[in-house]
Each structure stands twice: as structure tokens, then as C-alpha cells.
Amino acid sequence: MDVKAAEVLELSPVVPVVALDDAGQAVDLARALVRGGIGTIEVTLRTPAGLPAIERIAAEVEDIVVGAGTVTEPGQAARAAEAGAGYLVTPGGTDRLLDDLDEVGLPYLAGISTVSEAMRLAERGVSAMKFFPAEASGGVPYLQSLSGPLPGLRFCPTGGIGPDNARDYLALPNVGCVGGSWITPKRLLAAGDWGGVEALAREAAALR
């Protein structure tokens, strides 16, 4: 499924952020999320299983858009695209990394945590961004304050967000979705409890 960066924010109210240790779990995990009403998953490149997991999900689960997260250096974007990623997510954005993302051509959510970083991305024609680390960078009040001077920008806040505060972020006009790992906790992955993941996904999907 082809998407634009702005459309990534509309795929699901919550983007599950997952660091998989076993690529063999990827398809079952993605299918559980789909059954729960979640339309996307961000598989981070923090582990060796990241790229193989993206490849399996892209090939076998057609009802979900898989993104590659924690893209931090040139070269990773191209490898993620080859694996079948539909979009890319970075924690921040150096000029070198952003140039590489633009060259690869996939939609991306580059991370920002300051007004200047947001404005620099806007100068590049980017209007959809990741706000990270959300809670540590000012949280809901900070994002609320950005809507006045930067009304054309929308965000996916990630970092310190869970079921207790996700709804507060989603209520902001400049927030399209939130990212978090609470839908896919390590304990459920370790147990292969896909029914538990499905239940958490259903609760998250109902937040919008």
C-alpha cells in the first residue's frame, strides 16, 4: 500500500513501535494488530531482526502498512525500502540523513523536538513530523503552543506516551496519531500471546 507522509498520520490513532528480537514473530504480530483494527506498525532497526521482520510483514500481511523506525544513518533508508517498508521514521534529522531520505523517495516522519527543527523541516517542504521524545520535550502543552506559529504542521508524538495520556495528545488539532510500545509489550511477545496483542490493539484503535 502506497502512502504519503501526511497519510501515515491517518493510518491509525496509535502507531505500534516494536523492536523485535525474532523476525519469526513478525507476521503473527502484524496479523494480531490488523484484527484489532490497527493499520500500521513501525518496526525499528534497533535489532538485527528489524529488516527481516519488515520484509516478512510487507510480503505476507497486505492489510497493514509497515514502516521502518530508528533510521539514523544514510544507507538504512535504502535497505528498508528494499525490504518493503512503506515509510521511514527517524528520531532526528541531520542534513546528511534528510538528503538520503529524500533520495530514497519513501515518505518519512523525521523527528523534531524544537521549533527551529520543525521550521527547518518545513523549509524542505515537510509538513508531517515525529515529535520525539514527546513527554521529555514538553508534551501536550508544548505541542499545543506550536499550533499558533506553525499551523500547517502536524505531528506524531512518540516517547513516554501510553494509554493514560494518549487521548490528551490525540485531542490536539496538530496531532494525527501517537507512537508507542504499550500495544506490543515484551511480555506478550515473549509468550506469543497474540490474543493479548489484539485486545490492546482494539483498545488503541478506539482512541480516535
Distance (Å, rounded) from C-alpha 205 to C-alpha 123? 33
SS3 91: coil
- Whether the full predicted model's pTM is greater than 0.85, yes or no, is yes
- In this predicted structure, the answer to whether residue 2 has a pLDDT above a threshold of 90 is no
Does residue 186 carry a catalytic annotation? no
Question: pLDDT (tens digit, 9 = 90+) per residue, 144-179?
Answer: 999 999 999 999 999 999 999 999 999 999 999 999
Neighbour-count burial for 85-120, b at 16+ CB within 10 Å, e otherwise: bbbbbbbebeeebbebbeebebbbbbbbbeeebbeb
Residues of the chain above pLDDT 90, percent: 97
**Angle CA 166–25–21, to nearest 5:** 80
Q: How confident is the model at residue 16 (pLDDT cuts 50, 70, 90)?
A: very high
Beta-carbon contacts of 88 under 8 Å, excluding residues fewer than 6 positions away, are: 67, 68, 69, 71, 77, 80, 81, 101, 104, 106, 107, 108, 109
pLDDT for 136 equals 98
What's the Cα-to-Cα distance from 120 to each of 6, 137, 150, rounded to whole Å?
17, 18, 12
- In this predicted structure, the answer to whether residue 26 has a pLDDT above a threshold of 70 is yes
- In this predicted structure, the answer to whether residue 1 has a pLDDT above a threshold of 80 is no
Q: What is the mean pLDDT of the chain?
A: 97
- In this predicted structure, the answer to whether residue 6 has a pLDDT above a threshold of 80 is yes
Identify the active-site residue in 130, 135, 186, 198: 130
pLDDT for 175 equals 98
Q: 109, 61, 101, 99: which is closest to 80 by C-alpha?
A: 101
Length of the chain equals: 208
Does residue 130 carry a catalytic annotation? yes
| Neighbour count for residue 195 (Cβ, 10 Å) | 12
As a whole number, mean pLDDT of residues 184-191 equals 96
Question: pLDDT (tens digit, 9 = 90+) per residue, 98-119?
Answer: 999 999 999 999 999 999 999 9
pLDDT for 3 equals 77
Identify the active-site residue in 7, 42, 62, 82: 42
